[in-house]
Amino acid sequence: MKRPILIHPDPRLKKVATPVDDISDELRKLSDDMLETMYDAPGIGLAAPQIGILQRLIVLDCVKEDGEAPRPLVMFNPEIVSASDETSSYEEGCLSIPEQYAEVTRPAEVTVRWMDRDGNAREETFDKLWATCVQHEIDHLEGKLFIDHISPMRRQMITRKSQKLKRERARG
Protein backbone atom coordinates (compact mmCIF):
# COMPACT_ATOMS: atom_id res chain seq x y z
CA MET A 1 0.00 0.00 0.00
CA LYS A 2 1.32 3.39 -1.01
CA ARG A 3 1.69 5.93 1.79
CA PRO A 4 1.53 9.72 1.51
CA ILE A 5 4.94 11.42 1.79
CA LEU A 6 5.30 14.41 4.11
CA ILE A 7 6.51 17.60 2.45
CA HIS A 8 9.02 19.96 4.08
CA PRO A 9 8.48 21.99 6.21
CA ASP A 10 6.86 19.57 8.65
CA PRO A 11 7.76 19.19 12.35
CA ARG A 12 7.83 15.37 11.99
CA LEU A 13 10.75 15.65 9.56
CA LYS A 14 12.78 17.35 12.32
CA LYS A 15 12.37 14.66 14.99
CA VAL A 16 14.88 12.03 16.05
CA ALA A 17 13.39 8.58 15.33
CA THR A 18 13.20 5.77 17.89
CA PRO A 19 15.14 2.48 17.54
CA VAL A 20 13.17 -0.62 16.59
CA ASP A 21 13.65 -3.42 19.12
CA ASP A 22 11.61 -6.21 17.66
CA ILE A 23 10.78 -6.70 13.98
CA SER A 24 7.08 -7.46 13.93
CA ASP A 25 4.94 -8.41 10.93
CA GLU A 26 3.54 -4.91 11.14
CA LEU A 27 7.02 -3.43 10.67
CA ARG A 28 7.73 -5.81 7.78
CA LYS A 29 4.49 -4.67 6.16
CA LEU A 30 5.54 -1.07 6.75
CA SER A 31 8.87 -1.71 4.99
CA ASP A 32 7.00 -3.22 2.00
CA ASP A 33 4.77 -0.15 1.88
CA MET A 34 7.82 2.10 1.99
CA LEU A 35 9.48 0.29 -0.93
CA GLU A 36 6.26 0.52 -2.93
CA THR A 37 5.97 4.24 -2.12
CA MET A 38 9.63 4.84 -3.03
CA TYR A 39 9.51 2.98 -6.38
CA ASP A 40 6.26 4.69 -7.27
CA ALA A 41 7.51 8.23 -6.51
CA PRO A 42 10.02 7.38 -8.11
CA GLY A 43 12.93 7.68 -5.70
CA ILE A 44 16.06 5.81 -4.62
CA GLY A 45 15.54 6.03 -0.86
CA LEU A 46 12.88 6.65 1.77
CA ALA A 47 13.01 6.95 5.57
CA ALA A 48 10.08 6.12 7.86
CA PRO A 49 9.79 9.69 9.26
CA GLN A 50 8.97 10.83 5.71
CA ILE A 51 5.68 8.97 5.98
CA GLY A 52 5.17 10.19 9.54
CA ILE A 53 6.49 7.07 11.34
CA LEU A 54 9.16 8.06 13.85
CA GLN A 55 11.02 4.73 13.90
CA ARG A 56 14.53 3.92 12.70
CA LEU A 57 13.76 2.29 9.37
CA ILE A 58 14.97 3.18 5.88
CA VAL A 59 14.64 1.58 2.45
CA LEU A 60 16.78 2.16 -0.61
CA ASP A 61 17.60 0.93 -4.08
CA CYS A 62 20.19 2.88 -6.03
CA VAL A 63 20.31 0.58 -9.08
CA LYS A 64 19.67 2.97 -11.92
CA GLU A 65 20.86 1.11 -15.02
CA ASP A 66 18.09 -0.14 -17.28
CA GLY A 67 18.06 -3.90 -17.41
CA GLU A 68 19.99 -4.29 -14.15
CA ALA A 69 18.17 -6.26 -11.44
CA PRO A 70 16.66 -4.10 -8.67
CA ARG A 71 18.31 -4.34 -5.26
CA PRO A 72 15.83 -3.28 -2.59
CA LEU A 73 17.46 -2.89 0.82
CA VAL A 74 15.47 -2.62 4.05
CA MET A 75 17.46 -1.38 7.04
CA PHE A 76 16.25 -1.32 10.62
CA ASN A 77 18.39 0.69 13.06
CA PRO A 78 21.06 1.54 10.45
CA GLU A 79 24.29 2.87 11.91
CA ILE A 80 27.39 4.25 10.21
CA VAL A 81 30.31 2.40 11.79
CA SER A 82 33.03 4.03 9.70
CA ALA A 83 33.40 6.69 7.05
CA SER A 84 36.22 7.50 4.62
CA ASP A 85 38.22 10.72 4.85
CA GLU A 86 37.80 11.03 1.12
CA THR A 87 34.63 12.90 0.21
CA SER A 88 32.39 13.08 -2.83
CA SER A 89 29.72 15.53 -3.94
CA TYR A 90 26.36 14.76 -5.45
CA GLU A 91 23.43 16.85 -6.55
CA GLU A 92 20.92 15.60 -3.97
CA GLY A 93 17.16 15.75 -3.92
CA CYS A 94 14.55 14.41 -1.52
CA LEU A 95 11.01 13.09 -1.92
CA SER A 96 10.03 15.44 0.93
CA ILE A 97 11.45 18.47 -0.92
CA PRO A 98 10.13 17.95 -4.46
CA GLU A 99 11.83 19.62 -7.42
CA GLN A 100 14.67 21.10 -5.35
CA TYR A 101 18.28 19.99 -5.64
CA ALA A 102 21.61 21.01 -4.15
CA GLU A 103 25.16 19.78 -4.18
CA VAL A 104 26.09 18.07 -0.91
CA THR A 105 29.54 16.83 0.11
CA ARG A 106 29.78 13.70 2.24
CA PRO A 107 32.26 10.88 2.93
CA ALA A 108 32.76 8.91 -0.30
CA GLU A 109 32.59 5.53 1.45
CA VAL A 110 30.72 4.39 4.53
CA THR A 111 30.37 1.10 6.35
CA VAL A 112 26.84 0.60 7.66
CA ARG A 113 25.54 -1.91 10.17
CA TRP A 114 21.83 -2.69 10.32
CA MET A 115 19.20 -5.33 10.97
CA ASP A 116 17.43 -6.75 7.90
CA ARG A 117 13.71 -7.59 7.68
CA ASP A 118 14.38 -11.11 9.04
CA GLY A 119 16.17 -9.69 12.07
CA ASN A 120 19.68 -10.64 10.89
CA ALA A 121 22.59 -8.31 11.64
CA ARG A 122 24.17 -7.08 8.40
CA GLU A 123 27.18 -4.97 7.57
CA GLU A 124 28.31 -3.60 4.22
CA THR A 125 30.53 -0.90 2.78
CA PHE A 126 28.90 1.41 0.26
CA ASP A 127 30.43 3.81 -2.23
CA LYS A 128 29.31 6.17 -4.99
CA LEU A 129 25.57 6.90 -5.13
CA TRP A 130 24.81 4.16 -2.58
CA ALA A 131 27.06 5.88 -0.01
CA THR A 132 25.38 9.24 -0.56
CA CYS A 133 21.90 7.76 -0.46
CA VAL A 134 22.39 5.70 2.71
CA GLN A 135 23.85 8.74 4.54
CA HIS A 136 20.98 10.93 3.32
CA GLU A 137 18.43 8.40 4.60
CA ILE A 138 20.16 7.89 7.97
CA ASP A 139 20.17 11.69 8.34
CA HIS A 140 16.36 11.57 8.13
CA LEU A 141 16.36 9.40 11.28
CA GLU A 142 18.17 12.24 13.06
CA GLY A 143 15.64 14.81 11.87
CA LYS A 144 18.13 16.12 9.35
CA LEU A 145 17.51 16.99 5.70
CA PHE A 146 20.02 17.44 2.86
CA ILE A 147 19.43 21.19 3.01
CA ASP A 148 20.93 21.17 6.51
CA HIS A 149 24.28 20.54 4.77
CA ILE A 150 24.16 23.69 2.62
CA SER A 151 24.35 27.44 3.27
CA PRO A 152 21.56 29.02 5.36
CA MET A 153 20.66 31.32 2.48
CA ARG A 154 20.26 28.51 0.00
CA ARG A 155 18.36 26.50 2.63
CA GLN A 156 15.86 29.34 3.19
CA MET A 157 15.33 29.72 -0.51
CA ILE A 158 14.60 26.00 -0.97
CA THR A 159 12.35 25.99 2.10
CA ARG A 160 10.29 28.86 0.72
CA LYS A 161 9.86 27.08 -2.61
CA SER A 162 8.90 23.84 -0.89
CA GLN A 163 6.38 25.69 1.31
CA LYS A 164 4.81 27.23 -1.77
CA LEU A 165 4.57 23.86 -3.53
CA LYS A 166 3.05 22.33 -0.40
CA ARG A 167 0.38 25.05 -0.25
CA GLU A 168 -0.41 24.63 -3.92
CA ARG A 169 -0.79 20.86 -3.50
CA ALA A 170 -3.01 21.28 -0.44
CA ARG A 171 -5.26 23.56 -2.46
CA GLY A 172 -5.43 20.86 -5.14
68 part of the active site: no
Question: C-beta of 132: minimal distance to Ni ion in Å?
Answer: 11
The type of residue at 12 is R
Nearby residues of 135 by Cβ (< 8 Å), 6 or more positions away:
80, 106, 107, 110
Which residues on adjacent β-strands are paired with residue 114?
122
Question: C-beta of 44: minimal distance to Ni ion in Å?
Answer: 10
> Between residue 23 and residue 82, which ones bind Ni ion under the rule CB under 5 A?
none
Give burial (CB, 10 Å; 0-12/13-18/19+) of 107: middle
Q: Which of 79, 91, 124, 137 is catalytic?
A: 137
- CB closer to Ni ion out of 57 and 94: 94
Total number of residues that touch Ni ion (CB under 5 A): 1
Nearby residues of 166 by Cβ (< 8 Å), 6 or more positions away:
7, 8, 9
- CB closer to Ni ion out of 107 and 143: 143
> Between residue 73 and residue 132, which ones bind Ni ion under the rule CB under 5 A?
94
Which element (helix H / strand E) includes 31? helix 25-40
Question: Which residue lies nearest Ni ion, judged by its C-beta?
Answer: 94
3-class SS of residue 132: helix
- CB closer to Ni ion out of 94 and 112: 94
Question: C-beta of 136: minimal distance to Ni ion in Å?
Answer: 6
Residues that bind Ni ion (CB under 5 A): 94
Residues identified as active-site: 137
